Structure 1
Amino acid sequence: MTKKGHPFAVLGTCVLVVLCGCSDDVDGASQGVKERKRATAEITPSTGQSVMGLAAFTAENGQVELTLQLNGLKPGVHAVHIHEMPDCGMDGNNAMGHWNPTNEAHGKWGTPPFHRGDIGNVTADATGKASLSLRTDLWTLGDESSSTDVLNHAFMVHADPDDFTTQPTGNAGARIGCGVIKRNP
C-alpha cells in the first residue's frame, strides 16, 4: 500500500469514471455526434438483362449520401431514378412512377422543378461499369413520418438516358435493373 491508498483503488476509480461518465445516449447526440444511418438497394436485373449493383445510402449530419456501383450495363448512358413503390416485380413495373413527394414536374436533379427521385444519368464504360456519388439535404433516411425519406422506395436503372424534359419519365426507356431501398441492420 502507498500513502494514497491501495494501488487498485485508483484503477477502480478510473473505470468507474469511464463507465459512469457515459450517458444513456447510445448515438452520442448529447455530445454533438449524430448516429450514422445506412440503407442499401441491391440492384438485380430484369428479365433478359445483366445489370447488377448496389446503391448505398448513408445519412449523417442532415445530409444523405448516395454511392452507386453498377456492372453488367451496355456501354453508354443510362438513367437512374428512385421510384415510388418498394416493389421490383413485373420487371420493375410494380415500382410505379418516379418518387415525387413535392408534386413537381420531371427534370434534372438540382435544377427546379424536378422529382426527388430524378437522380440523373450514369455512363457505363466499355466493361459495363458505372458509378455515381450524390450528397443532398433533400432526402432523409429512416424518418418514416417524412415525405423526404428514401427508405422503402425502388431504385431503378433504365436502358436509355434521361432527357430531363419528357414528362413524367424523361424518356428513359425500359426498366433493366431494380432494388428496394432497405435499412441496414
Structure 2
Amino acid sequence: MAADSAASLTLDSTATAGASTGVTAKVVDAGGRELGVLTLADAGAAISVDGTLRGLPPGVHGMHIHAVGRCDAPDFASAGPHWSPTPKQHGSTNQAGPHHGDLMNLTVGADSSVVVKMSTPAGSLRGENPLLDADGAAIVIHATADDYKTDPSGNSGARIACGVASGS
C-alpha cells in the first residue's frame, strides 16, 4: 500500500491562535487497517503525543518517532531510523542517549486498546532541528517492549504499525 493511502497527517484545527499548530498522524497496521489518530504538539522543550489506538496486540510495545515521513507496508522500513537531530544514541537509560524520538512503551490492554499520553525527551515540531522537516516524520509502534538502552531501537522488534507526519 502506498504511503499516501496507508497513513496521513492533517493540521490540528483545535490549536489556539498564536500557538504552534499541532499535527495528527493516522496510525495503520501492515494491512492498512486504521488503528486510531495520534496528535503531536509542541509542549515546551518537547513534543507531546496523545490519542487512542485500537486493534493492537495486547502487551507492551515500543513506540518511537522515526526520521522519514513514509509508512510503506508491510514492514514500515521506509520510516527510517529514529528521529535524532543530535548525536545521541537510543534510550533513556543509555549514557549516550536518548534520541529526540524516543518514547515510553505502550501497554495495550486485553481489549487491544491503549490511551496514549506521553512526550519526547526533547524537540519541537517546527523550531530548531524541527521534526517536521522536508521529508516529514513517522510514528512507529514495534512488536515488543523497548529496553530503553540498546542502540538503535531498544530491541523492540518488528515495526507493526505506523503513522505519517509531514510539515505542511
Query: Shorter chain as normaliser: what TM range?
Result: 0.7 to 0.9
Per the alignment, residue 46 of structure 1 pairs with 30
Alignment match of 1:115 (pick from 85, 99, 105)? 99
For residues 147-178 of structure 1, what are the alpha-carbon distances to aligned partners after superposition, in whole Å with 9 as ceiling and x for unaligned?
14356101101110001122211011111110
Residues 182 and 126 (structure 1), Cα distance of their counterparts in 2 relative to 1, 3 Å cut: same
Contact map agreement 2:98 2:121 (CA 8 A) in 1:
no
User: Percentage identity across aligned positions?
Assistant: 31
- The one-letter code sitting in structure 2 at the alignment partner of 1:147 is N
Counterpart position of 1:68:
51
Unaligned residue ranges in structure 2 (runs of 5+): 1-14
Over the residues paired in the alignment, what is the CA RMSD in angstroms? Answer: 3.0
Query: Which whole-Å CA distance do the structure 1 matches of 2:89 and 2:45 have between them?
Result: 25
Structure-2 residue corresponding to 1:15: none
| Code of the aligned partner of 1:176 | I
Q: 1:38 to 1:45 in 2, by over 3 A?
A: same
Match of 1:86 in 2: 69
Cα distance in 1 between the residues matched to 2:27 and 2:98 = 23
Residue in structure 1 matched with residue 131 of structure 2 by the alignment: 149
Counterpart secondary structure, 1:138: coil
| Structure 1 or 2: more helix by fraction | 1
**1:59-107: per-residue Cα shift (whole Å, max 9, x none)?**
3666632203211111110111001111111431111111111121111
State TM-score, norm by structure 2.
Answer: 0.76
- How many correspondences in the alignment? 151
Shift of 1:117: 0.8
In structure 1, the partner of 2:82 is: 98
Displaced runs of 4 or more, over 4 A: 60-63
Q: Secondary structure at the match of 2:105?
A: strand
Match of residue 8 from structure 2: none
Distance 2:120 2:63 in 1: 16
